[in-house]
């Protein structure tokens, strides 16, 4: 029996546990490599309030997958931002770097024959110029989003902050336009992101969507329940929940029968302490699928960002009806009113929440059509074939 080939993931967040869209996207690609007969090492960097860089947390999800997670302080202050602007280097990327993590990764590279090394997000490529690689190793950037667009399209209204966000966006854009020159491939998750990178790097850019298997979930639904699940250290999620709590919750709460569930890693304290009527807010959940499966509707109020919303695809795969903005549904080949409901205003969100919770037949139909969309466009077999051909 021949030894399995090896791949190394350098990730800006842990793949396991699968607590948000980003971790699900990473773990899906990890498991894709396992399916095509690879052994996988993951070095991930988790945001923390303290440093614990001496002994990374070790986790083994299967016999072929090893994850090593470092805890690192990520908080950005005004001094960091000013230095970033003066030096014209992205603080968003710089905060992920630590020489001890770099040394740890280099040791893995020196003692393993990795056929492929994948940098999850542009921020992870902060290690690219510091590491030494085998000349035969394929180097790949996996772009979850066009990161600079998140900062350019920020929902922020404060003019000073808007200028700062624009500068930060320009720094990230500089990385996105230059770093791929030193890589073999760019894997994009969504068609929109593929179009952006393909124009600049036509021979390197490949569309490798996240695959999902549809499931028939028989869990009993909580009557008139709506749910949002998303990591709250991602700016578009924070903006979306800020908007929803200010503009929609008061409308929804006019009807005492609704139940609103909001959860996500790094949930701000102001929400954990908030007392919204009929609203249940919590932080990190251990299993995203378990959390959403007993709810009737997933709502995704996203107004900025790029890429594709993994949480929408995951909900579709188990037949949950989804209400989202046009921006939130970006990258999904949907038909409005058929496999998803698009709502771009507070009035529309309220109207469609009422409609789908009242008309369960319609909600079930949209959920079933969402499943068919997943089966058509996010098919495991085709995605694995494309991945295998590339690596």
In this structure, what token pair is assigned to residue 190? 């969504």
Predicted pLDDT of residue 354? 94
| Distance of alpha carbon 197 from the chain centroid | 18
pLDDT digits (tens, 9 = 90+) for 314-370: 999 999 999 999 999 999 999 999 999 999 999 999 999 999 999 999 999 999 999
pLDDT digits (tens, 9 = 90+) for 84-125: 778 788 888 999 999 999 999 999 999 999 999 999 999 999
Whole-prediction pTM: 0.86
Q: State mean pLDDT over 283-305.
A: 92
Residue with structure tokens 């390197």? 204
Q: What's the order of all strands across the beta sheet hosting 114-120?
A: 52-62, 65-73, 38-48, 5-11, 114-120, 138-143, 185-188, 205-207
Q: Residue 370 and residue 319: Cα distance in Å, rounded?
A: 6
Q: Residue 42 and residue 7: Cα distance in Å, rounded?
A: 9
Q: State mean pLDDT over 25-49.
A: 94
pLDDT averaged over every residue in the chain: 92
Q: State mean pLDDT over 149-173.
A: 84
Q: Residue 134 and residue 165: Cα distance in Å, rounded?
A: 37
Task: With CA atoms as reference, report the closest residue to 251 among 347, 321, 341, 344.
Answer: 347
Q: Residue 141 and residue 331: Cα distance in Å, rounded?
A: 19
Specify which residues 280 forms β-bridges with.
Answer: 261
Task: With CA atoms as reference, report the closest residue to 13 among 93, 69, 51.
Answer: 69
Q: Residue 24 and residue 187: Cα distance in Å, rounded?
A: 16
Domains and CATH numbers, the chain: 5-208 (3.40.50.2000), 225-377 (3.40.50.2000)
């Amino acid at each position: 029996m021949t030894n399995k080939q090896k791949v190394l993931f350098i990730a800006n967040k842990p793949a396991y546990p699968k607590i948000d869209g980003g971790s699900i996207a990473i773990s899906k690609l990890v498991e894709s490599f396992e399916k095509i007969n690879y052994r996988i090492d993951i070095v991930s960097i988790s945001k923390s309030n303290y440093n614990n860089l001496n002994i990374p947390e070790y986790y083994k999800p299967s016999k072929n997958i090893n994850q090593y997670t470092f805890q690192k302080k990520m908080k950005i202050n005004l001094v960091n931002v000013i230095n970033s602007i003066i030096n014209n280097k992205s603080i968003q990327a710089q905060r992920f770097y630590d020489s001890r993590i770099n040394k740890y990764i280099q040791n893995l590279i020196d003692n393993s024959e990795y056929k492929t090394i994948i940098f999850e997000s542009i921020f992870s490529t902060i290690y690219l110029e510091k590491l030494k690689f085998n000349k035969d190793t394929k180097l790949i950037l996996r772009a979850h989003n066009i990161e600079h667009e998140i900062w350019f399209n920020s929902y922020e209204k404060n003019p000073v902050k808007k200028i700062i966000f624009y500068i930060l966006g320009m720094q990230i854009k500089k990385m996105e336009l230059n770093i791929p020159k030193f890589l073999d491939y760019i894997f994009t998750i969504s068609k929109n992101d593929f179009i952006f990178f393909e124009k600049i790097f036509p021979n390197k850019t490949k569309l490798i969507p996240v695959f999902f298997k549809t499931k028939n979930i028989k869990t009993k639904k909580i009557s008139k329940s709506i749910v949002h699940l998303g990591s709250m250290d991602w700016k578009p999620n924070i903006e979306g929940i800020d908007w929803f709590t200010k503009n929609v919750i008061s409308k929804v709460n006019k009807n005492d029968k609704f139940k609103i569930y909001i959860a996500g890693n790094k949930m701000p304290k102001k929400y954990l302490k908030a007392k919204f009527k009929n609203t249940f807010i919590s932080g990190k959940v251990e299993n995203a699928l378990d959390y959403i499966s007993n709810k009737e509707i997933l709502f995704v109020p996203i107004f900025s960002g790029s890429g594709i919303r993994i949480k929408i695809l995951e909900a579709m795969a188990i037949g949950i009806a989804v209400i989202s903005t046009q921006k939130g549904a970006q990258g999904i080949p949907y038909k409005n009113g058929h496999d998803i409901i698009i709502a771009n205003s507070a009035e529309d969100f309220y109207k469609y929440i009422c409609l789908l919770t009242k008309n369960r037949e319609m909600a079930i139909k949209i959920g079933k059509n969402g499943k068919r969309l997943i089966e058509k466009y996010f098919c495991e077999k085709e995605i694995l074939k494309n991945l295998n051909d590339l690596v």
